[in-house]
Amino acid sequence: MNILTTEDARFIDREVPKQLGISLEILMENAGRGIVDALWGEYDLFSLNNGRSINSFVLFICGTGNNGADGLVAARHLMEQGVPAQIVLVGDINKCSDLFAVQIERCKAMGCSIDMYDEFNDWSNVAIAVEGIMGTGFTGRLREVTIDILNDIDTMRSQYNFDLWAIDVPAGLDATTGHVTEGTLTYDYTVTFGAIKQGLLLYPGKAIGGTAVVAPLGAPWQQVLGERVRTITIDSDLAEKIINYRTPMAHKGVNGNTLIIGGSNDMIGAPILAAEAAVHSGAGKVTLAVPQIIKQIVQSRVIPEVMVTSTETNKELFDCRQVVAMGPGLGRTREICNLVEHILDAYEGALVLDADALYALGHVGCVNKDALRDGDIEFAYTVEKELPYCVMTPHLGEFSRLIDLPIKWIERHYIMLAREFAKAHQVTLVLKGIPSIVALPDGTVYVNTIGNAGMGTGGMGDVLTGVIAGFISQGYSLQDSAVLGVYVHSRSADILNETKSWGYTPSDVSTSLGFVVSELLGDYE
């Protein structure tokens, strides 16, 4: 499913009328009906008085821009259907948008109940409140008067226990970055138009937007986006398109030969987790290369399906490997840095770089903070070191070191930085965070929509590395392997989460991978 930024939404509003001949007024009419359909999808609106006053109604809190006008359309349609609705206005109606002016006149002509916000006091009869004050164009900070209104709404909700909905995005939420400003409320639902807004998938926006309901715009808006860079959700529909059945004649040679390089005296478990995950993801043969000093103990702990060799003595280490994954538990000594450099020079096939292999790279680029702050993307990122054909799987701390930028800056420009990094270095970047994202060399970014808090434990990243490597060995592209790996890894954790919300282990996730693949292939319900 596509994801839209603020700029995408503006582009659609501008280009749909030009290219498709569908006016903004028609789009607004469709959006208003979408709000109504979303409400009907969650409630029996003819039973608003259930447990409440017989005078209960749906309250629309509308600003004087197009976001508020969407609410006016919805109120009008509800009243036409016989559902009680009340409109309260926020702001100066003498400074309203043109479309708002059209819609408010229509509401008046229909006899809709309309008050200014500071004149409204019938909170005890509110069954559902729908907020449409700001919309996707919001950036910066809320005005004090708006903060006061939102605080008032929150107080009334606490007292009268009604559900709170947002139109497109909550007031105070940046639709692109997911950042929220002072005064922003937490919502039960957000009905958003055309496609989900990026800010509703990124924290803290995801935490305050509630359940996102996508309402259609009634126009093929995808056509007008053309070659604009895309942001897409990672979900079951996408994973099902990528996953392939194996041929009946498949054997271990066909399903690929994976090499995992990692391990040190203090970190034996990490490379074992990665290697076993490669096996469980379907790799034909998996070899784990570790320092000679820990080879024996690793052999005694790893599953028998994994072959174990030494990083020091095997001169044919890279022969016939479809993929080499390097980094889990490798260590951070000078010798390790030299080893990583040697492997990058010696091996010309597909690579997955994780953990300590990323550390060994050091800084590979730098960010111009002023350009980033101003949104001048062309000059925001500069390459300092060329990278090989690879998938990179850093968490935020590791990414911070790679681009020499504090984590707080990365969090504020999360998707933008991942996209520019992948484009500049022509790598596939799996940036592990909340949510994890996959950025491709062509600028496409995939945002993971599944997973759970139980995944926040040591070793989960090692499993993901093995999963991605396992898919590459089976013939999937680096890009598809990264996207499919992120989905299968998270879905496996979600299956475990159904029986226990935490306490399951990375090993549990690894052994459950096959169930997810079977699910995607439709082998069982």
Mean pLDDT value across residues 198-213? 95
**Spatial distance between the Cα atoms of 279 and 274, rounded to a whole number of angstroms:** 9
Residue 153 lies in a domain: yes
Judge if 274 and 183 occupy the same domain. Answer: no
Mean pLDDT for all residues in the chain: 93
Confidence of residue 53 (pLDDT cuts 50, 70, 90): low
Distance of alpha carbon 157 from the chain centroid = 29
Strand pairing partners for 129? 59, 164
For the chain, the domain total comes to 2
Instruction: Summarize the confidence of residues 81-102 as an average pLDDT.
Output: 95
Is-contact 438 445, C-beta < 8 A?
A: yes
- Structural domain boundaries enclosing 365: 239-243+255-519
Please, which pLDDT band fits residue 51 given cuts at 50, 70 and 90?
A: low
**Burial class of residue 283 in the structure, from the number of CB atoms within 10 Å of its CB (0-12 exposed, 13-18 middle, 19+ buried):** buried
- Kindly report, residue by residue over 496-505, the tens digit of the pLDDT: 999 988 889 9
Residue 330: both structure tokens together: 């490798």
Q: Which amino acid is at 248?
A: P
Do residues 328 and 446 share a domain?
Answer: yes
User: How far apart, in whole angstroms, are the C-alpha atoms of residue 147 and residue 504?
Assistant: 42
pLDDT digits (tens, 9 = 90+) for 469-513: 999 999 999 999 999 999 999 999 999 999 988 889 999 999 999
C-beta separation of 377 from 351 below 8 A: no
525 in a structural domain? no
pLDDT classification of 252: cutoffs 50, 70, 90: low
Is residue 232 a part of any domain in this protein?
Answer: no
At 266-286, the pLDDT tens digits run 999 999 999 999 999 999 999
Structural domain contains residue 460:
yes
Q: Within a 10 A sphere around the Cβ of 482, how many other Cβ atoms?
A: 29
Instruction: Tell me, yes or no, whether 462 and 315 share the same domain.
Output: yes
Q: Is 400 left (phi over 0), alpha (psi -120 to 50) or beta?
A: alpha
Structure tokens at 162: 């009604």
Distance (Å) of CA 257 to CA 78, 469, 471, 510? 61, 10, 11, 18
More reliable by pLDDT, 245 or 369: 369
Answer yes or no: is pLDDT of 249 > 70: no
- 155 burial class (0-12, 13-18, 19+ CB within 10 angstroms)? exposed
Same domain as 358, residue 301 = yes
Identify the residue whose tokens are 């409400």: 39
Average pLDDT over residues 59-70: 97
- The rounded distance, in Å, linking the Cα atoms of 33 and 167 is 12
The reply to whether 184 and 267 lie within a common domain is no
- Residue 310: in which H helix or E strand, if any? strand 306-310
pLDDT in tens, 427-457: 999 999 989 999 999 999 999 999 999 999 9
The greatest distance separating any two alpha carbons of the chain, rounded to the nearest whole angstrom, comes to 86
What CATH number is associated with residue 285? 3.40.1190.20
> Parallel, antiparallel, or unpaired for β 445-448 and 437-439?
antiparallel
Lowest mean pLDDT among 100-114, 215-229, 342-356: 215-229
pLDDT score for 471:
97
CB 310 within 8 A of CB 293: no
* 3-state SS string for 249-293: CCCCCCCCEEEEECCECCECHHHHHHHHHHHHCCCCEEEEEECHH
Tens digits of per-residue pLDDT, 363-395? 999 999 999 888 888 889 999 999 999 999 999
CA distance 161 to 126: 9
Which pLDDT does position 247 carry in this prediction?
57
Can you read off the two tokens belonging to residue 522?
Answer: 């439709």
Report cis status (omega within 30 of 0) of the bond before 248.
Answer: no
Residue 71: in which H helix or E strand, if any? helix 66-80
| 35 belongs to a structural domain | yes
Going by pLDDT thresholds of 50, 70 and 90, the confidence category of residue 248 is: low
Q: Give first-to-last CA distance, the chain, whole Å.
A: 23
307 and 209 fall within a common domain? no
CA torsion angle for 17, 23, 28, 31 (degrees, to 10)? -60
120-136 pLDDT, tens digit per residue, is: 999 999 999 999 999 89
pLDDT at residue 313 in the model:
72
Token readout for 395 is 């968490």
CATH of the domain at 82: 3.40.50.10260
In a shared domain, residues 50 and 101 = yes
Position 524 in a domain? no
List all residues 6 or more positions away from 222 whose beta carbon is below 8 Å from its beta carbon.
2
Whether residues 153 and 294 fall in one domain: no
Residue 375, pLDDT score: 81
Alpha helix (H) residue ranges in 302-413: 334-346, 355-361, 369-374, 396-403, 407-412
DSSP structure class, residue 51: T
Same domain, 341 and 430: yes
Does the structure show a pLDDT above 90 at 210?
A: yes
Q: Report the distance separating Cα 166 and Cα 188, nearest Å.
A: 8
* Within a domain: 233: no
Half-sphere exposure of 245 (CA within 13 A, CB side): 6
**Would you state the pLDDT for residue 78?**
96
| Residue 134 CA, distance from chain mean position | 23
Compute the distance between CA of residue 286 and CA of residue 471 in angstroms, rounded to an integer.
12
Tell me, what's the pLDDT at 500?
86
Give the number of other Cβ atoms within 10 Å of residue 519's Cβ.
19
The reported pLDDT for the residue numbered 217 is 93
User: From CA 95, how far away is CA 65, in angstroms rounded?
Assistant: 9
Q: Is 251 exposed, middle or buried (0-12, 13-18, 19+ CB in 10 A)?
A: exposed
**How do residues 147-195 score in pLDDT, each as one tens digit?**
999 999 999 999 999 999 999 999 999 999 999 999 999 999 999 999 9
Residues 184 and 291 reside in one and the same domain:
no
The kind and range of the H/E element at 141 are: none
Residue-level pLDDT at 379: 87
> Percent of the chain at pLDDT above 70?
96
Per-residue confidence (pLDDT) for residue 55, from 0 to 100: 80
Same domain, 313 and 173: no
- Is the residue at 249 inside a domain? no
Spatial CA neighbour of 399 closest among 378, 429, 369: 429
Identify whether the C-beta of residue 490 lies closer than 8 Å to the C-beta of residue 256: no
The amino acid occupying position 44 is D
For residues 295, 296, 297, 300, the Cα torsion angle rounded to the nearest 10 degrees is 120
Residues 220 and 265 in one domain: no
Q: To which H or E segment does residue 3 belong?
A: strand 2-4
- pTM: predicted TM-score of the whole model, two decimal places: 0.91
The DSSP letter of residue 219 is S
CA angle 315, 319, 324 (to 5 degrees): 100
3-state SS, residue 451: coil
What does the pLDDT read at residue 227? 75
Mean per-residue pLDDT for 45-67? 85
Q: Half-sphere exposure (CA, 13 Å, Cβ side) for 379? A: 8
